[in-house]
Chains A and B, each alone.
Chain A
Amino acid sequence: MLSCKEATQLVSQGLDRRLGFFERAALRVHLAICHGCRNFSRQMALLRKAMGRLAD
């Protein structure tokens, strides 16, 4: 079982490299039960989108 710290690291790395099969599975399980990390994950997606608009 991943801790939230590990889960957030995987969320972040998932934006930079393709996660392995077991990493993805473990992350999915964690996100399914952890509201905080789910919010974190959505916020990371928003951050990426916002960075794309920065220089407009």
Chain B
Amino acid sequence: MSADFRSRVEGERPYLLRYASLQLRDPHLAEDVVQETLLAALAGEAGFGGRSNLRTWLTGILKHKIVDAIRRLSRETTVATDADEFEALFSERGHWVDPPAGWEEPDGSLQQKQFLRALEECLTRLPVKTAQVFMMREHLGYETPDICKELGLTPTHCWVLLYRARLALRECLQLNWFSK
């Protein structure tokens, strides 16, 4: 293994750590999966072969390690069936208490790094399980039936968690980005 390759791989650690922390929401677990990823990468230098961008290659390995970790985790923890805190958003008859206003220049926001930071911040406030399902769906790009299968959830429960994640993120972005 070349010393140069080792130091380049090691140089990606902070990025990978941030990536893993965002998805797993557990700094120790994130450390573990990044460590596993770096070891796998160093052992598999030949597999890289300079074909693609190093970060892209490492992130690909990391995604698998993250899914493995989520899978292990979901065997250990049961899904909390917490009371629906979003009931307050709707009246008894299911109408908005405070209907969403339009977001100004939504497309412009996407160009801004700061907006993505605000979104990340909002993601860290989601309950862990909700965040994991949402990240698997929206960031790792899994289809819903696959997420259900991986995590042992019913499709309905998956949809409920995704719905809650979206409502919560909307509220959070409304408050922390679009109201400013």
Contacts and interface: CB of A to CB of B under 8 A. Distances in A.
Interface of A: 3-6, 8-9, 12-13, 15-17, 34-37, 39-40, 42-44, 46-55
Interface of B: 19, 22, 59, 89-90, 93-96, 99-103, 106-107, 109-110, 115-116, 119-120, 137-139, 144, 155, 158-159, 162-163, 166-167, 169-170, 173
A16 B162 contact: yes
A51 to B, nearest CB: 4
Contacts of A50: 109-110, 115-116, 119
A36 B96 contact: yes
Contacts of B94: 3-6
B90 A42 contact: no
B interface: dominant SS:
helix
A5 B110 contact: no
A49 B110 contact: yes
Contacts of A9: 159, 163
Given A5-B90, A9-B163, A42-B102, 5 more contacts: A4-B96, A35-B99, A42-B103, A43-B106, A47-B138
Contacts of A47: 138, 166, 169-170, 173
A48 B169 CA distance: 11
